[in-house]
């Protein structure tokens, strides 16, 4: 680690369901980041419910409290670790909606400020044969558009419904290693970027 303080990583999955395969994969990468010295905050988007973005609602009531809270968390961390499901070839509406709300200007502050220069590590677990490659490509485009710096490496877990044991452990050693490595790389890059 290059700097004295541990990099702060915010980790979340684009799926809210309790048995989410993306949450399981995210946990492996988060463990890798912790082992590399990062301070990882794992949040569940289920705990930040927000309506589908509507400009009229925003005019009337402003940005919802949960979006403000999540935006604050994003701003407060050096890097984001994000596992996205693939829904019909793209990221989940849950993930995109949260990112959109968190990109709105607040109190005259540039809406995209929390994202700018933020290091992002991407993963996907999908039940399909391509491991969510289309969702990750879209997520890469979205985060880049918002000014974040996405790591070139990514982790794709295909047929993820068969990838974990009953205790939620990732069975394949190579997949485990790759997910942990992504978390560790993010920790190192975030520390370097912050220094």
Ligand X SMILES: Cc1cc2nc3c(=O)[nH]c(=O)nc-3n(C[C@H](O)[C@H](O)[C@H](O)COP(=O)(O)O)c2cc1C
Query: What is the nearest approach in angstroms of ligand X to the Cβ of residue 21?
Result: 4
Query: What is the nearest approach in angstroms of ligand X to the Cβ of residue 132?
Result: 6
Residue least distant from ligand X (Cβ): 128
- Nearer CB in complex with ligand X: 150/160: 160
Query: What is the nearest approach in angstroms of ligand X to the Cβ of residue 8?
Result: 24
Query: What beta strand segments (E) does the chain contain?
Result: 8-13, 39-42, 79-83, 119-125, 149-157
- Give the C-alpha separation, 127 to 98, whole Å: 23
Where do contacts with ligand X occur on this chain (CB under 6 A)?
15, 17, 20-22, 85-89, 125-128, 132
- Nearer CB in complex with ligand X: 126/185: 126
- Give the C-alpha separation, 167 to 66, whole Å: 31
- Nearer CB in complex with ligand X: 20/185: 20
Find out whether 128 and 156 touch, Cβ atoms under 8 Å: no
- Give the C-alpha separation, 160 to 127, whole Å: 5
Q: Which residues contact 191 (CB under 8 A, 6 or more apart)?
A: 1, 2, 3, 6, 7, 37, 38, 78
The residue length of the chain stands at 195
Query: What is the nearest approach in angstroms of ligand X to the Cβ of residue 10?
Result: 18
What is the side-by-side strand order in the sheet with 149-157?
Answer: 39-42, 8-13, 79-83, 119-125, 149-157
The DSSP secondary-structure symbol of 147 reads T
- Nearer CB in complex with ligand X: 78/86: 86
Cα dihedral 8/13/14/17 (nearest 10): -140
Query: What is the nearest approach in angstroms of ligand X to the Cβ of residue 133?
Result: 9
- Nearer CB in complex with ligand X: 151/158: 158
Query: What is the nearest approach in angstroms of ligand X to the Cβ of residue 42?
Result: 14
- Nearer CB in complex with ligand X: 88/174: 88
């Amino acid at each position: 680690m290059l700097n004295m303080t541990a990099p702060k990583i915010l980790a979340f999955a684009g799926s809210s369901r309790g048995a989410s395969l993306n949450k399981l994969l995210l946990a492996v990468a988060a463990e890798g980041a912790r082992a590399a010295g990062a301070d990882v905050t794992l949040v569940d988007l289920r705990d930040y419910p927000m309506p589908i973005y509507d400009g009229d609602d925003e005019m009337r009531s402003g940005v919802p409290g949960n979006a403000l809270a999540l935006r604050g968390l994003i701003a407060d961390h050096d890097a984001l670790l994000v596992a996205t499901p693939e829904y019909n070839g793209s990221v989940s509406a849950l993930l995109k909606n949260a990112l959109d709300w968190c990109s709105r200007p607040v109190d005259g502050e540039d809406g995209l400020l929390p994202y700018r220069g933020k290091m992002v590590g991407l993963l996907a677990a999908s039940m399909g044969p391509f491991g969510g490659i289309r969702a990750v490509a879209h997520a890469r485009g979205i985060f880049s558009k918002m000014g974040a710096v996405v790591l070139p490496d990514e982790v794709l877990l295909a047929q993820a419904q068969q990838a974990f044991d009953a205790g939620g452990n990732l069975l394949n050693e190579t997949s485990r290693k790759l997910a942990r490595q992504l978390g560790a790389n993010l920790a190192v890059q975030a520390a370097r970027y912050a220094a």
